Structure 1
Amino acid sequence: MGCGRVGSTLAHILEDKGHSVAIIDQNSEAFRRLRGGFKGRRVIGMGFDRDVLVEAQIEKASAFVAVSSGDNSNIISARVARETFGVENVVARIYDSRRAEVYQRLGIPTVATVRWTAEQMLRRLLPDGALPLWRDPTGDVKLAEVQTDVAWIGARVADMERAAPGCRVAFLNRMGEAVVPTGDTVVQDGDVVHVMARAADMDQITEALAKRVREED
């Protein structure tokens, strides 16, 4: 639902991957964003209207995404798709991050675009410390990219985890490729470290990894 820039881009990507797509928008002019060769269904109407969803063949859908410009419309549509039509894979875009957290707890996956965009900007403006890439609906557990002391180069992942209790190195970004490490994986120059930990421990972990204190020190 929603044939804006995000909706039309998703529709094209999904179609290119071999999926059949139906896209709903209350404004017929919005469909001009679709390329000429788009083969999917174009349905005019509100995405939370049951008749409109049936016209879009929601009963055959394996997934539903709500990316209109309105938070309320997105959430209502997502709930109708899941609760009325039984679509299991449902995602809604939300601008208000406080609402996003509430709906996450209700089991509706959301993407809070303002927060996500701000965090991506901060990662480039303020590279120090840890910035979350993901967190669970309760906010208790986070996946974050952390800045590490160059002294960790040549050390094992197990050494990092031992120096930062509660930390689990989830993966390393190595030359643009994701590496899932074992305890014996050696940190190389240029590796970007991503850790999973309790939010309450993240500051302590960040501090421990930002400056390596060797045992002999």
Structure 2
Amino acid sequence: MPLSPARPVPARIFTQAERQAFYDIVAARRDVRNEFEDRPIAEDVLKRILAAAHAAPSVGFMQPWNFILIRDPARRQAVQAAFAVANEEAAAMFPDEKQAAYRALKLEGITKAPLNIAVTCDRSRGGRVVLGRTHNREMDIYSTVCAVQNLWLAARAEGIGMGWVSIFRPEDLRRILGVPDHVEIVAYLCLGHVSELYDRPELAAKGWRARLELETLVMEEGWTGAAPEEEEDQSPAIR
């Protein structure tokens, strides 16, 4: 089938106030764990947030994402139990002198947040050959991560906090949520209203790791970076 004719339309020019609002939202985004309030997210707000996620770019316009909304306390308790097992495994991976600091961190809000969302990537969507994914099959995963970022920023604009929980055995989460084998679980998110947040990323505020200077990460024309960091330099102790 031939492609239908289309013409570009004039690009919208945003005002200075609109541009600044966007940058303010980016700067104010936080990975929320413990600040969720116990009140539900209104359905119209949730719909706007999900619509923003669905507006994300995707390779070949395959739109590989699905959003599993999880409100049931028993199911969230099962997810939290799966997290607890994996979190203990994760703690043991750190040097002995860092394990206490790791365990002191609050790394999830699964049962405290009123809404959990699992974001998945259907790797079969669009068929066997997808425009733009012919030479890099992971592009559908990257597209789904773009949807997560859109969701995160839209939530912050609506006064909704969001935390991304990544410490799971994938097979445990797949079993609890009944996700089929051809679908990848990309993100497990906790959402809820917030009235207080850290004024900078929580792991920076608690001394786990400082933000890198942007100037040290920008390169011209090719790779000019340093060798990999030594293990002992990667995460300073909490102070």
Asked if these proteins are the same fold (TM beyond 0.5), I'd say: no
Give the TM-score normalised by the residue count of structure 1: 0.28
Higher relative contact order (CA 8 A, sep 6+): 2
**The structure with more radius of gyration:** 1
Q: Which has the higher strand share?
A: 1
